[in-house]
Amino acid sequence: MTSHLTIKYSFLIISCFAMSLAHGNNLIHFGNQCLVQEAQLNKAKLRLDQLAQTKNLNRIKANQAQENLGYYQDKKAHLEMAITECAETTPNSAYCHQTRRQYNELNRLIKEQDNTTDIALNRDKSNLTYEINQANFHTRQANFLALCRDSDTHYAFIQNSEAYSAVCLKGENKETITCSLF
């Protein structure tokens, strides 16, 4: 009877040990999965930051093009008056030829600024895409934080020294959200 009880007790201890190892392996897997998600989120955040910077540069270009366009159009209006006077007085004078050249150059610059404004504004229409990507990112980040920082599984992972060591003591993993205590 004692032998039978010893065997049952040994089997129970081995089963608990096996379950503990399985649980430890699950926690290691959990930690590694969280690190993968965190790396993906970090890359997405970097891309969003780059998109935001590009969006701001496009807005600056569009504003600058609008300012230039206004300046050129004002200057063109003054030249139109000078061209009208030239046509009435001395159309073949050096002054009139110079005025017409300036007028033609301003027309070219105005067309160029119109194109620059259109291009910059069309690029800025990616604003909706940026906002959708940003909202998607925030949702994914909230889900990640709920699972990999604020969950009972994360707490168990942090408390399990074997799982924590296997995942967090490699490279720079200790600095990640997944491996942080808070």
pLDDT of residue 33: 96
pLDDT of residue 66: 85
Taking the C-alpha atoms of residue 55 and residue 57, their distance in angstroms, rounded to an integer, is 5
The ranges of the chain with pLDDT < 70 are 1-24, 120-128, 182
pTM of the model: 0.64
Q: Are 117 and 101 in contact (CB under 8 A)?
A: no
pLDDT of residue 17: 37
Taking the C-alpha atoms of residue 125 and residue 50, their distance in angstroms, rounded to an integer, is 16
What DSSP string runs through the chain? -HHHHHHHHHHHHHHHHHHHHHHHHHHHHHHHHHHHHHHHHHHHHHHHHHHHHHHHHHHHHHHHHHHHHHHHHHHHHHHHHHHHHHHHS-TTSHHHHHHHHHHHHHHHHHHHHHHHHHHHHHHHTTHHHHHHHHHHHHHHHHHHHHHHTSSHHHHHHHH-HHHHHHHHTSTTGGGSSTT---
